[in-house]
């Protein structure tokens, strides 16, 4: 049982860290820079940790830049405003990311600048053989170590790790929660202190300042990924160009308050 819990926790946090550190803050927003060698290392590590649900950092970055440019509009690749439920939103995100990867979708040139890229790794990692091999590995771990069949209920989370972590932010942090900043979009902060999503849940703060390395702005809004970024910066693994301090508004909003909808929405 200990091994299964450890496996689940490690898989959750390592894949999430690669999502927020490499795919989101580095690839999409260029919040810091690193050498090509380190980029390749983290790119490969993203594949290992995300396994069956791996998304190319390049594809992730393009899709995410579209989300920031078109938040809450019909061009947003994922928005609770345009999808009836979170499963249909997950499916639409999958269609968009697949269109970007296969180049069957038209992408504006402004979203294609300064992206990490490793076509050979992406080709292997996006293949059905690779995805099935990872799923087989997850099943084997459970067959060997799960004390009862009930634990197998956790398997879908391993298999769909990246879209599940994505939907927590893209659905819930555009629907519920509180706001620090009044923005022309529905982004919210999900938790007072975000240890579950490693800082990603301060989504309203992030929409206010997308290129900031620190997603927390209030004293209690600890951002675990930012702590690791600072450590990596000190170890010279990455280079942070600016550590942006976002001014916090004086009025503390009431928990549960949701940002106003975009004005163009009916
Ligand atoms: Zn958002
Ligand atoms: Zn972002």
Q: Does residue 47 lie in a domain region?
A: yes
Domain count, the chain: 1
- pLDDT score of 241: 79
Q: Does residue 220 lie in a domain region?
A: no
pLDDT along the chain (266 residues), means of 10: 96 98 97 97 98 98 97 94 92 95 95 96 98 98 95 97 96 96 96 96 97 95 97 96 60 44 32
- What is the sign of the dihedral through the CA atoms of 23, 27, 29 and 31? positive
70 vs 207: CA distance, rounded Å: 12
Q: Which ligand is nearest to the CA of 80?
A: 1
**Alpha helix stretches (DSSP H) within the chain:** 2-18, 36-50, 57-69, 86-101, 119-125, 128-145, 155-159, 161-170, 203-208, 224-234
Q: Which ligand is nearest to the CA of 211?
A: 2
Q: Which ligand is nearest to the CA of 212?
A: 2
Please, are residues 200 and 169 in contact by the beta-carbon 8 Å criterion?
Answer: yes
- pLDDT score of 265: 31
Q: Which ligand is nearest to the CA of 259?
A: 1
Q: Please list all protein residues whose beta carbon sits less than 5 angstroms from ligand 2, which is an ion.
A: 210
Q: Which domain holds residue 167?
A: 2-176
Alpha carbon of 71 to ligand 1 centroid (Å): 7
- pLDDT score of 266: 26
Q: Please list all protein residues whose beta carbon sits less than 5 angstroms from ligand 1, which is an ion.
A: 187
Q: Does residue 199 lie in a domain region?
A: no
Q: Does residue 43 lie in a domain region?
A: yes
Please, are residues 67 and 75 in contact by the beta-carbon 8 Å criterion?
Answer: no
Q: Which ligand is nearest to the CA of 177?
A: 1
Find the length of the chain: 266
Q: Which ligand is nearest to the CA of 63?
A: 2
- pLDDT score of 2: 93
Alpha carbon of 173 to ligand 2 centroid (Å): 12
Alpha carbon of 85 to ligand 1 centroid (Å): 16
């Amino acid at each position: 049982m200990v091994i299964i819990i450890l496996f689940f926790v490690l898989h959750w946090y390592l894949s999430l860290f690669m999502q927020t550190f490499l795919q989101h803050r580095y690839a999409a927003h260029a919040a810091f820079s690193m050498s090509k060698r380190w980029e390749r290392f983290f790119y490969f590590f993203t594949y290992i940790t995300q396994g069956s649900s791996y998304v190319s950092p390049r594809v992730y970055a393009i899709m995410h830049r579209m989300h920031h440019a078109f938040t809450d509009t019909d061009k947003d690749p994922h928005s609770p405003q345009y999808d009836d439920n979170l499963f249909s939103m997950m499916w639409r995100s999958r269609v968009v990311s697949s269109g970007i990867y296969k180049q069957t979708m038209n992408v504006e040139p402004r979203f294609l600048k300064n992206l990490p890229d490793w076509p050979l790794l992406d080709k292997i990692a996006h293949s059905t053989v690779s995805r099935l091999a990872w799923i087989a590995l997850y099943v084997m771990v459970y067959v060997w170590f799960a004390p009862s069949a009930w634990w197998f209920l956790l398997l879908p989370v391993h298999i769909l790790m990246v879209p599940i972590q994505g939907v927590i932010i893209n659905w819930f942090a555009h629907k519920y929660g509180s706001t620090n900043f009044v923005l022309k979009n529905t982004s919210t902060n999900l938790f007072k202190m975000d240890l579950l999503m490693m800082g990603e849940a301060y989504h309203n703060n992030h929409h206010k300042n997308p290129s900031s390395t620190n997603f927390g702005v209030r004293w209690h809004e600890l951002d675990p990924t930012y702590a690791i970024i600072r450590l990596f910066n000190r170890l010279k693994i990455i280079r942070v160009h600016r550590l942006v301090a976002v001014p916090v508004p004086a009025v503390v909003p009431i928990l549960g308050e949701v940002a106003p909808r975009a004005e163009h929405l009916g």
